[in-house]
Amino acid sequence: MNKTTDRSVSNELKMAPFELNIWLGCFILITGNISTFGNIIIFSSRAFRNRACTVYLLVEAIVLIFFFDLVLLTRTLQKGFRIPVLNRYDAICRLRYFASQYTNLIAISLFILATTDRYLSTQRSQALRKWSGRTSLAYKLVLACVIIWFVFGCHRLVLYSAATGYCIAQPGLYALLDNYLEAVISGLCPPVIIFVLSYLLMRSVRNTIQRQNLVLSNEPNKPAVNSTFLRKTDKQLTQMLFWQTLVAIPAFIPYTIQLIYSNVTENWSKSPEWVAWENVCVETIRLLSYTFFSTRLYITLISSRRLRREIFRIFRLRNGIQPTDVTLNTIDQTTAGGLITIKQQTNT
């Protein structure tokens, strides 16, 4: 690697990480809050309340308020506007890095539980279906997530400090283990689990369509409305999973690679220009890691026409306009970060 001097690094390149955190950070902060509060309004409405899936998603949206307005906000102030809130105050340093991991793990766990609930609801086995849609179980699992992840991450409330003028983990073995653990738990596991659940959910819905078609072929006098609706639902589900995957890949995978790369190359000799470009890449990757949660509402709105109509109905109702009732007899329309699934027909 060629040696260069600080003077060889342009001012534009030096300022790029700050500009990224100001403009991209503020953009994600604003869109993330809109998405989060929009989900809270939707999932607390009469149309969606009292469902197990909704319990997960409503609590997740509440947790994401702290994710954006504490974790991302302090990052934007520190890394963008250069207000040293983390390096100056030890309590804020510890709370921020604890909340960074804690809120992320709770949110992704609740998203996975919501998707799992929808997957179980599409199973032919009554033994599996009975575990879906149970709000009492949902509240218990939410409480379990809150307690388990607190115990898992509470070490950051003690072993992070700004005493040296920088908010960092305790140097040595702890910092190394904490970084690799975050790479695996927060970076690698979420996209793998999401992909597996999405595949299983898609396959289950398509198996339902095939069984429904078989029933219709054996009973020609039975109306084909359900079959048509199932195909439309399958198309919407495909679109949602596609967009959700497109967001999950740049949100999680580069973040994992960056954490591992930073550990491996920590003691390497690097030129100032290389370090400057590295800082740009690191800040971009860190900011993109917030996009999985900040785009959830928008992906759902783009992919689901029925959900768009239901959301407009909710807002009209809040404004005092009485809409016509929407009857969903054989359909259980819910969202799991943009996933709409259908209730398994028990008599197929």
216 contacts: CB under 8 Å, gap ≥ 6: 222, 224, 227
Torsion of CA 50, 56, 58, 62, to 10 degrees: 150
Hey, is 62 helix, strand or coil? helix
Distance CA 348, CA 46 (A): 30
**Please, which pLDDT band fits residue 334 given cuts at 50, 70 and 90?**
very low
Structural tokens at position 186 = 């927060």
Query: What is the separation, in whole angstroms, between the first and last Cα of the chain?
Result: 66
Structural tokens at position 192 = 């793998």
Nearest to residue 120, comparing CAs of 197, 49, 64, 57? 197
Instruction: Please determine, for residue 139, whether its predicted confidence score (pLDDT) is greater than 50.
Output: yes
Torsion of CA 234, 243, 121, 147, to 10 degrees: 180
Calculate the average pLDDT of the chain. 81
Residue 231 is predicted with a pLDDT of 60
Q: Quote the pTM value.
A: 0.83
Residue 315 is predicted with a pLDDT of 65
Distance CA 112, CA 60 (A): 11
Nearest to residue 193, comparing CAs of 131, 245, 133? 245
Hey, is 129 helix, strand or coil? helix
Residue 17 is predicted with a pLDDT of 94
Sequence spans of domains, the chain: 15-215+235-314
Hey, is 169 helix, strand or coil? strand
Residue 216 is predicted with a pLDDT of 58
Instruction: Please determine, for residue 346, whether its predicted confidence score (pLDDT) is greater than 90.
Output: no
Hey, is 168 helix, strand or coil? strand
Distance CA 165, CA 159 (A): 15
- When mean pLDDT is compared over 33-42, 137-146, 332-341, the highest value belongs to 137-146
33 contacts: CB under 8 Å, gap ≥ 6: 65, 68, 69
Mean pLDDT of 33-37: 94
Instruction: Please determine, for residue 120, whether its predicted confidence score (pLDDT) is greater than 90.
Output: no
Instruction: Please determine, for residue 127, whether its predicted confidence score (pLDDT) is greater than 80.
Output: yes
DSSP labels for 221-253? TS-SHHHHHHHHHHHHHHHHHHHHHHHHHHHHH
Instruction: Please determine, for residue 193, whether its predicted confidence score (pLDDT) is greater than 60.
Output: yes
Contact in structure between 39 and 296 (CB atoms under 8 Å): yes
Contact in structure between 314 and 326 (CB atoms under 8 Å): no
Query: How many H helices and E strands in the chain?
Result: 15, 2
Structural tokens at position 48 = 């969606």
In the chain, the percentage of residues whose pLDDT exceeds 90 is 44
* 15-215+235-314 CATH fold: Rhopdopsin 7-helix transmembrane proteins (1.20.1070)
Distance CA 233, CA 227 (A): 10
CB atoms near residue 151 (< 10 Å): 9
Cα radius of gyration (the chain): 23
Contact in structure between 150 and 142 (CB atoms under 8 Å): no
